[in-house]
Amino acid sequence: MYKSKIIGMGYSVPENIISNNDLSKIMDTSDDWIQSRSGIKERRWATNDVSTSDLALEASRAAIKNSKINSSDIDMIIVGTLSSDYFFPGVSAQLQEKLNLKTIGAFDIKAACSAFIYSVSIADQFIKTGAANTVLVVGAETQTKLIEKSTKGRDVAVLFGDGAGAALLSRSNSESSILSTHLHSDGKHLKSLWMEAPGTSKDSWVNGSIDLSKFTPKMNGREVFRNAVTRFPEVINEALDANDLDINDIKFIVPHQANYRISEAIAKKLNIKMDKVISNIHKYGNTTAASIPIALAEALESNKISKGDIIILAAFGAGFTWASAAIRW
């Protein structure tokens, strides 16, 4: 069986910066209120002329450039997103065309904030079995186009941002590799973080008419927080145990950027300092499927991660889904 490794990463965020003070002009909130509850100072919102596939394309091009391979070497595309340009087909098919790739396999994964790790896990299996050599994995979102930007939608609107991150996975002949991945879900909590429409459920329609209030994300913040601070440490420890590692063997934890308070709770439960937890939520907010690859790409860009370092990616989100990946760089 082969091994896979990440050979290049890239990211893209919209130019449109929305500060907490900007939000206070359109809803009942303040910079102090948002920062104290989430750690977010600003986020990027895509304008009407910027789509999820646009950001995915820019991130993918950066990842291809940083990997120093030819795009023709890519033999599969996997995209994690909740905010594709169209209900169908997926962003992956658009990327195949925009990157002018061969008629390779391309599909989307809808696992919310865990989608990037889910996608990495799938790519890893394809490469391990020899079914693929080089896989483009992307997390991309323009979810803020779906949120209600008012006091009524404040609990969601202050948290989310847009962006994309991409990774190229390829066959590894060295110690550098994806060591393991771990995927979980618990569907009984689905209504704690969901968007009901568009969908085919009879509840998505009222007397044959569209109920527009169902086209915005809804969140039970307390329930999400309670589950996240339990599942994050669990799935991180699962990755450690699977590889006979101790937390002291890890250079960085790269968690989904959901809330700085959640990251602090993770660090406390794992008995580590926050300087071991990669965080950029203050700049970008919660970019859902894009948050981990953006954070990881930035860490690589600033030379925080060196060859041989072991890192753990971890995520928790709607579904509920949660996941982790142990990686030796």
- Residues annotated as part of the active site: 113, 256, 286
Please name the residues in contact with 121: beta carbons below 8 A apart, sequence gap of 6 or more. 181, 183, 323, 325
Q: 282 is written with which tokens?
A: 């203050």
CB 38 within 8 A of CB 161: no
CB 287 within 8 A of CB 162: yes
Please name the residues in contact with 91: beta carbons below 8 A apart, sequence gap of 6 or more. 52, 53, 56, 79, 81, 84, 85, 108, 138, 140
Quick one: DSSP state of residue 160?
Answer: B
List 140's β-bridge partners, or say none.
164
**Cis amide prior to 255 (ω within 30 degrees):** no
Q: What is d(CA 156, CA 217) in angstroms, rounded to the nearest whole number? A: 7
CB 94 within 8 A of CB 138: no
- Which position has the token pair 């859902």? 288
Q: 267 is written with which tokens?
A: 């660090």
Q: What is d(CA 153, CA 29) in angstroms, rounded to the nearest whole number? A: 11
